[in-house]
A and B are shown apart, each in its own frame.
Chain A
């Protein structure tokens, strides 16, 4: 261990400190860490264990139970394809397969350039607009296979625009 920077260790301790008065603080702590860093590796879980007294095995169990938490870094864009019952019968499997084919990654994996992570989700409660895909919180309704390429291209455009907004200076 000992790969974490001091600032990161301090930050994780601070996050743990936010929920000192909670009876069951673990989910909240892990959510904050997931949001802050995008993933929760074992060395981070060890710090959470020290701070909360909850065993590493138990924390690891929670992290691996909920698909919201990740052990490895996620991409810049997390594409979540809902495979709940309604989406599934409306063709969600074909949609996720198409994303898989275009990005050359399997569900759960991240592209080598760190741009995209593809996740298979259970029901996200958007059955009325099935099949639904969520990308970084934005929901795309009634997805079809033919839209997949276009949507991937849109994400690259978002990055381009961000670069321009920052003045295009990357030196």
Chain B
């Protein structure tokens, strides 16, 4: 332990901490900006966290300067306060201050430190660097006029995926953070997962909002149907002040109904349908010598990664569409028919924890007879924006159920799709039944559970046959499994891969987790939020009476009345898709 003083008061702190961390441990929050998540990004570039410290020459950036024995730190000295204000004013001098139009408003850390430090407008008015705006990619947008060059996104892309799509380029006043050659995300091998959006402190990186499309569909008198993914309910509450990990399923259904959607469905129904199709596909591959291991295909970020980097392994991917695409196809080609509506007049909105889904729905391979399965995808954050602008007080909404007219009923298996390992567990519950004729006891297969990135593996004994499975989330982990397959050394039969570390609960469209804006959450919230959100889903699974997809009565009915059987000709037409290798840096003129 080291003896230090902050504002003249003695404290004992651990060795090896930065001044910022030591001060936090002693109960001080030094205004800071570029630093993030235990030094995941720590370039000390923004100079917002300057303090006085004995033994140092001048003021020091507390996010990178280590504490030392006997150090006396002054956070509130006039010189430190003024220096921090100047740092923010310098950032603002080259910042596009159209805050009222910025979708990051309310979550913007730059605006927060500007208020905290008392930064004056145009204290250093002068030239602005050239602005580049990228709105070509369906998933996410980039606006350099909002970028403060902190590098958080650069680090997150590398840490989550080993990708490094974003980097600093050029020099001096011309520096920007962008894909190589200042390309659009659409013209680089970006998988559009949105992890960079989740860490961007300002509005420089945002999801590509589609709220306008929904407004236009309502105006045009379409039958606007909404469906929400499992992971959304585990995080939407955070936007309305609920503690992280509070499931808000009932209020969410109520809110969506009040937004005017003609039906509000749970994508869990589509998840159950996915299990029927994907489970059957796995059984065929296992028993008929198909390509193994089979890899899940629910995560469009992962699909993008595979198409860019592992074109040779695409036959390993399940041909199943992701749950919301399947459900969209069923809404347009079955629900519409049952209700005597032309599918062209139906507008399907998916509420997703994901920005890559915005890209996925645009794929040619996701259309049936030229009709897209899904017309608009909004993130959990965009849904919160729609709810807020509607005037609803979310916390006072009643708990309501999802629509379950001729579809929409769901099981616990569908709910857990939102967490890494969930698709695997849901599939195994059904595959086990199909092979043995009885349900797995206990229902839970906890061996595949977890909430962090990294690889988990398990072996399940089914009627004397051992099925080896592995689960990875984040492309850095997935790469290990994929390289094994490429080298012919994979021992697995079935692999689940999710694009975002931790799975959909940590998707690129989920509410921002920023400790400065979460005063009631514990200090280590960045370490435990994924676990909390995952728990929200596992608890909903436990509350369901039916917990295996093959026991969903409406799914059984759908096959009896419409699809025939899993992997039937009609199933293939509506519910399955195809993949194609893509070139990362395609030629652009």
Q: How many contacting A-B pairs (Cβ < 8 A)?
A: 47
The A interface, classified by DSSP as helix, strand, loop or mixed, is: helix
Interface size on A, residues (CB 8 A): 15
Within the complex, the shortest CB–CB distance from B32 to chain A, in Å, comes to 24
Contact B168 A61 (CB under 8 A): yes
Contact A60 B171 (CB under 8 A): no
Docked complex: A21-57 residues within 8 A CB-CB of B: 42-43, 45-46, 54-57
B181 CB within 8 Å of chain A: yes
Contact B179 A57 (CB under 8 A): yes
**In the assembled complex, which residues on chain A have CB atoms less than 8 Å from the CB atom of B557?**
none
Contact B583 A1 (CB under 8 A): yes
Could you say which of B154, B168, B180, B587 contacts A56, with CB atoms under 8 Å apart? B180
Within the complex, the shortest CB–CB distance from B311 to chain A, in Å, comes to 14
Could you say which of A42, A54, A65 contacts B585, with CB atoms under 8 Å apart? A42
Within the complex, the shortest CB–CB distance from A84 to chain B, in Å, comes to 15
CA distance A65 to B169 in the complex (A): 7
CA distance A156 to B168 in the complex (A): 39
Contact A42 B583 (CB under 8 A): no
CA distance A54 to B163 in the complex (A): 9
Contact B163 A60 (CB under 8 A): no
Q: A1-B583, A1-B585, A42-B585 are in contact. Are A55 and B170 (CB under 8 A)?
A: no
A147 CB within 8 Å of chain B: no
B165 CB within 8 Å of chain A: yes
**In the assembled complex, which residues on chain A have CB atoms less than 8 Å from the CB atom of B222?**
none
B228 CB within 8 Å of chain A: no
Q: A1-B585, A45-B180 are in contact. Are A57 and B164 (CB under 8 A)?
A: yes
Contact B583 A64 (CB under 8 A): no
**In the assembled complex, which residues on chain A have CB atoms less than 8 Å from the CB atom of B171?**
64-65
Could you say which of B165, B583, B587 contacts A55, with CB atoms under 8 Å apart? B165
A58 CB within 8 Å of chain B: yes
**In the assembled complex, which residues on chain A have CB atoms less than 8 Å from the CB atom of B164?**
54-58
B167 CB within 8 Å of chain A: yes
CA distance A64 to B170 in the complex (A): 5
Q: A57-B179, A60-B180 are in contact. Are A65 and B165 (CB under 8 A)?
A: no
**In the assembled complex, which residues on chain A have CB atoms less than 8 Å from the CB atom of B181?**
42, 60
CA distance A16 to B164 in the complex (A): 20
Nearest CB in chain B to that of A65: its residue: B171
Could you say which of A42, A57, A65 contacts B170, with CB atoms under 8 Å apart? A65
Docked complex: B544-589 residues within 8 A CB-CB of A: 583-587
Docked complex: A88-105 residues within 8 A CB-CB of B: none
Residue among A1, A42, A55 having the largest count of chain B Cβ atoms under 10 Å:
A55
B158 CB within 8 Å of chain A: yes
**In the assembled complex, which residues on chain B have CB atoms less than 8 Å from the CB atom of A42?**
180-181, 585
Contact B585 A57 (CB under 8 A): no
Q: List 8 A-B contacts (CB under 8 A).
A: A1-B585, A42-B585, A55-B167, A56-B167, A57-B154, A57-B179, A64-B170, A64-B171
Closest 9 CB pairs of A and B: A55-B164, A57-B167, A60-B180, A61-B167, A56-B180, A64-B169, A61-B168, A58-B167, A61-B169
